[in-house]
Structure 1
Amino acid sequence: MTSDLLMSSLPILLQGLLTTLILSVAAIVGGTLVGLLAAVLRTFGPWGTPRLARLYIELFRGTPVLITLMFIYFGVSYFGYAIDVFAAGVIGLSVYQGAYIAEVFRSGIESVQKGQWEVSQILGLSKMQAFFSVILPQTGKIVLPPLIGQYLSLIKDTSIVSMIGMSELMHQGQAIVDRIGQPVEIYGLVALLYFIVCFPLSRWVRRHDRRRSLLS
């Protein structure tokens, strides 16, 4: 890659990277909330909510993320409503990744010793009070490494949002290639920027797992 091509492409790609990071943070927050709600409903929800939560999880875990994004972006327009590309990306990624995050939280909730629930009842806490004040803090410590791993998957999934026209990192890279060519150099730079974002998180997960294995 020539220095002129690098200097002209990098600012555009960095702008796309900023959009990718904003989209990722918004989708991580949304996906975490959706996933936690689904995990709670599936674990001890009232009436038929466990079945509904399981249906949601199985549905989105069994379909591609692109289908979810297309359905939200074009489906809303089909019913006569307008939706922003960024909003469609956040909602689509949150709903899709929430199904995977729900299973991470569910496994963490079920890993907490049942005696914790019994002690909470003895102390006079309601089920919800026990969950938020006793069970959830312990669950957070258990699920943090796999949760970070799922966030890494979400960050990489943001590249698919380019299919609905959002100008994130991948879309900007594609626009540069369409204009000036040099796909190997441009996509290599795009891959490097994704790597710079994801590598520290993946390293943290490996170090955390290694530390846990040594302590166990």
Structure 2
Amino acid sequence: MLNILVNNFPELMSGLGYTLMSSLIALVGSLIIGTAFALMEISTHRWVSVIGNIYVEVVRNIPLLVITMAFYVIVPQYIAQIDGFTAGTIGLTIYTSAFIAETVRAGIQSVAVGQMEGARSVGMTYSQAMIQIIFPQAFKIVIPPLGNQFINLVKNSSILAFVAGFDLMYQGKIIANATFNTFDTYLAVGVLYLILTMPLSYFMRYLEKKWAVA
């Protein structure tokens, strides 16, 4: 494994960089989109709630590979030219957003109803109450499951290897084919994925302890 790391260090670091970039973009994007659809799911407007629920249920039940290939094959053919990295990142963002939506929705609904009623009774608008009262409590509650989703997102970024996204898994596949040393190559790739996911895991545990709900 050490020889693989030393002899192919630039390629592996390049792949690691693409993986990290894709993961960060997808993390931010999926959190924003997921939160938006979580709010749609709990909306008092029936048609808004229906749209939110349909999005979440449909996306959650379609494999990530299918979503990614749709952007990699269909979008360039009929809409606009995009590369594998972009297609993979968009697919990863959309797929993860559905799971985050369910996580955030559960967190919001676990906050006592009286919190919203109390905020509205002192003159806050619905949006103000959500931002200032409900969201802070909900996100404290959902830190553990959100952390799991973020770690899964990093691991799922390996989907870019299927669409020539130049990520860590893609570089590993090229190195394995060139050296015929599959075991050591993917062992090295696995270690590099651990380097990405372990700090995130410990950071989420730190936040969970810091923001622990009494």
Give the residue type in structure 2 aligned to 1:30.
G
**SS at structure 2 position matched to 1:44:** coil
Distance 1:188 1:81 in 2: 37
Counterpart secondary structure, 2:36 = helix
Runs of 4+ in 1 over 3 A off after TM superposition: 203-213
Distance 1:41 1:197, change over 3 A: same
Superposition pairs of residues 151-166 of structure 1, within 5 angstroms: 151-166=150-165
The residue type equivalent to 1:83 in the other structure is I
Counterpart CA distance in 2 for 1:157 and 1:97 is 9
User: Does structure 1 retain, via aligned residues, the 8 Å contact 2:5–2:12?
Assistant: no
CA contact (8 A) 1:30 1:90 kept: no
Name stretches of at least 5 consecutive residues in structure 1 with no aligned partner. none
The alignment covers a number of residue pairs equal to 214
Residue of structure 2 equivalent to 1:111: 110
Aligned to 1:143: 142
- Relative to structure 1, the CA distance from residue 210 to residue 118 in structure 2 (aligned partners, 3 Å threshold; closer, same or farther) is closer
Gap change, CA 1:2 and 1:169, over 3 Å in 2:
closer
Q: Is the 8 A contact 2:27 2:93 kept in 1?
A: yes
What CA distance in whole angstroms lies between the structure 2 residues aligned with 1:194 and 1:2? 16
**Is structure 2 residue 190 aligned with structure 1 residue 186?**
no
In structure 2, C-alpha distance between the alignment counterparts of 1:113 and 1:80, rounded to whole Å: 45
The aligned counterpart of 1:7 is: 6
TM-score of the pair, normalised by structure 2: 0.92
Instruction: Identify unmatched segments of 5+ residues in structure 2.
Output: none
TM-score normalised according to structure 1 size: 0.91
Shift of 1:40: 0.2
Q: For the Cα contact (< 8 Å) 2:85–2:164, is it kept in 1?
A: no
Does the CA-based 8 Å contact 2:88-2:159 persist in structure 1?
A: no
Shift of 1:2: 5.9
Q: Is the Cα–Cα contact under 8 Å of residues 140 and 208 in structure 2 kept in the other structure? A: no
What amino acid maps onto 1:90 in structure 2?
T
